[in-house]
Amino acid sequence: MGVSAEKSLEELTMRDRFALEDLVDREALGELSEGFYKLFRVPLRIFSESGLLLADAGETHRLYTYLATLKKSSSAVQEVVAMVKTIDPKLQGDVTYPCVTGAVYRIVGVTYDRRQLGRIILGPFLPHSVHDLPASLLDLDPEIELPKARDLLAEMPRAREETVAEIAQHLVRTLDLILFSGHRALLASSMHLASVQESFKELQEKNEKLQHAVDRLKELDRLKSNFLATVSHELRTPLTSIIGYSEMLVEGMAGDLNLEQRDFVRTIYEKGEQLLRLIKGLLDLSKLESGTMSLSKSYIDAAPLVRDVAQTVTPVARKKGVQIVVQTEPGLPELWADAARLRQVFLNLADNAVKFTPTGGSVTLSAQISSLESGAEDGSGLVLLARRAAIEFRVSDTGIGIPESERERVFDAFYQVDSSSTREQGGTGLGLSIVRRLVDAHGGAVHVEDNRRSGSGSVFVVRLPCRRATVF
């Protein structure tokens, strides 16, 4: 338990914290008082230290009901009752107080753990020594009809003062037991509450720290994206000049170059182009990460897009002795997408496929109708899973393949499968991470699997939602 829990526990156990009404159940107290009244016929009331009436058992005696109808007697009785209420056993000890009728009240303190928590008032009852109405009352109120009042007095409960004192003590001891178990229950629940509060506080603190860390990471991520965007942009301008001038030199626009010079300048040109691709990739990635890439979407046909990509990679593939195959299902629905960005996606995949397929192999680009699971929130926090019509694109090759353990990681930025064949091919390791982000931005999904048909190579599967949203 932490420091604050200990502190609150200390606070909770401080004696003056509990009031009688906190420790006992009022209903139980009422039943207890009724039980005592039924047994001894002496009315009793229990008050808390603050004067709150917690239990009231017994009826107003008929003598008192009668006296209440007479002005003088009534005010004399009321005066006694008011006095009885002010008696504090803490100061005066247990007290027997006489009433104008000759009956008496017994006032007893309720203490717990050496602290007075309230009072019990027993009475009025007639002590054994009293047999008639006191002369003082008759003098005070001549309106009293003596025979009637005497009859009513005779009906009043009679008890020896010592007996009532014993009853009171018995009641106090019973109450003490009730108070003890009440105290224990209250302490237990307070301790429980304190420890729950403590755990809640700890959880809140951890939450705050976590939120802080998330905010910090977000800020760092934003800074990184900004940095990438700025640096890439600044690198691009001088690089364009390097590429432009080296291209002019290779083409002999600044005079003839000997073979070696031309070779050197061509290398500058090629490396410049390579660098430019990397920078463009970085720019794209930083825009996608920061969400600042704007997509200009329109309705597009999938089949021409696939054919166009196939045509673009064909020269390189032919040079390498790799066959390009296109298979598109007729009647494919339209896509709502950014045509240039989708072209970039499939060109990346097709480039990779050709790159990682040895001579004699083949690369197949296909498109067919399929479906895509998508989650949509219904406003109440419930996520409804829906299946939407989609087009499934597959870029399959018969090349070196990707080991199962690497199939998720290849989509990480700068990640390249660590094999000599990958290293030989060069590359930036950015292509697939851009592919995944662009596919995500179109509400689609991409993954890689084995090329089971050919027995070797990999298949990149891209699913993109169609214009028609179909919920199954």
Smallest distance, ligand ADP to C-beta of residue 344, A: 12
460 closest CA partner among 336, 343, 365: 365
Separation of alpha carbons 354 and 395, rounded Å: 10
* Beta carbons of 306 and 365 less than 8 angstroms apart: yes
Give the range of 196-204, 239-247, 293-301, 347-355 binding ligand ADP by CB under 6 A: 347-355
Sketch the per residue contact string, 148 through 177, with ligand ADP: x for CB under 6 A, - otherwise. ------------------------------
Burial class (CB in 10 A: 0-12, 13-18, 19+), 43: buried
For position 422 contacting ligand ADP by CB under 6 A, the verdict is: yes
For position 101 contacting ligand ADP by CB under 6 A, the verdict is: no
Separation of alpha carbons 208 and 455, rounded Å: 52
For position 279 contacting ligand ADP by CB under 6 A, the verdict is: no
| Binder of ligand ADP out of 428, 438, 451, 464 (CB under 6 A) | 428
* Beta carbons of 334 and 367 less than 8 angstroms apart: no
| Binder of ligand ADP out of 43, 361, 399, 465 (CB under 6 A) | 399
| Binder of ligand ADP out of 432, 445, 446, 461 (CB under 6 A) | 432
For position 410 contacting ligand ADP by CB under 6 A, the verdict is: yes
| Binder of ligand ADP out of 225, 232, 364, 416 (CB under 6 A) | 416
Give the range of 64-72, 115-123, 127-135, 349-357 binding ligand ADP by CB under 6 A: 349-357
Choice between 436 and 442, CB closer to ligand ADP: 436
For position 353 contacting ligand ADP by CB under 6 A, the verdict is: yes
Distances in Å between the Cα of 114 and the Cα atoms of 23, 111, 170, 176, 185 are 15, 6, 18, 11, 19
Smallest distance, ligand ADP to C-beta of residue 218, A: 25
The most distant pair of C-alpha atoms in the chain lies apart, rounded to whole Å, by: 150
Give the range of 30-38, 81-89, 256-264, 409-417 binding ligand ADP by CB under 6 A: 409-417
Choice between 194 and 410, CB closer to ligand ADP: 410
For position 358 contacting ligand ADP by CB under 6 A, the verdict is: no
- Residues 23-42, interacting with ligand ADP (CB under 6 A): none
Neighbours of 254 (CB within 10 A): 10
Contacts with ligand ADP by CB under 6 A: the residue count is 21
293's tokens:
């890439």
Give the range of 69-77, 189-197, 239-247, 415-423 binding ligand ADP by CB under 6 A: 415-423
For position 431 contacting ligand ADP by CB under 6 A, the verdict is: yes
Give the range of 7-15, 90-98, 311-319, 395-403 binding ligand ADP by CB under 6 A: 395-403
Q: Report which DSSP code applies to 300.
A: E
| Binder of ligand ADP out of 30, 358, 427, 443 (CB under 6 A) | 427
Choice between 8 and 364, CB closer to ligand ADP: 364
For position 345 contacting ligand ADP by CB under 6 A, the verdict is: no
Smallest distance, ligand ADP to C-beta of residue 290, A: 20
Helix segments in 251-301, DSSP class H: 259-290
Give the range of 46-54, 58-66, 170-178, 414-422 binding ligand ADP by CB under 6 A: 414-422
* Beta carbons of 166 and 160 less than 8 angstroms apart: no
| Binder of ligand ADP out of 66, 125, 356, 393 (CB under 6 A) | 356
* Beta carbons of 446 and 461 less than 8 angstroms apart: yes
Distances in Å between the Cα of 162 and the Cα atoms of 41, 53, 165 are 15, 25, 5
For position 429 contacting ligand ADP by CB under 6 A, the verdict is: yes
Separation of alpha carbons 258 and 68, rounded Å: 135
Sketch the per residue contact string, 221 through 250, with ligand ADP: x for CB under 6 A, - otherwise. ------------------------------
352's tokens:
């990779």
247's tokens:
């291209």
Separation of alpha carbons 247 and 262, rounded Å: 10
Separation of alpha carbons 8 and 166, rounded Å: 40
Neighbours of 416 (CB within 10 A): 18
* Beta carbons of 443 and 464 less than 8 angstroms apart: yes
Distances in Å between the Cα of 305 and the Cα atoms of 42, 312, 328, 338, 396 are 102, 11, 11, 11, 17
Query: How large is the angle between the packed helices 3-13 and 161-250, nearest 10 degrees?
Result: 160
Smallest distance, ligand ADP to C-beta of residue 200, A: 46
Residue ranges binding ligand ADP (CB under 6 A): 348, 352-353, 356, 397, 399-402, 410, 415-417, 422, 427-432, 458
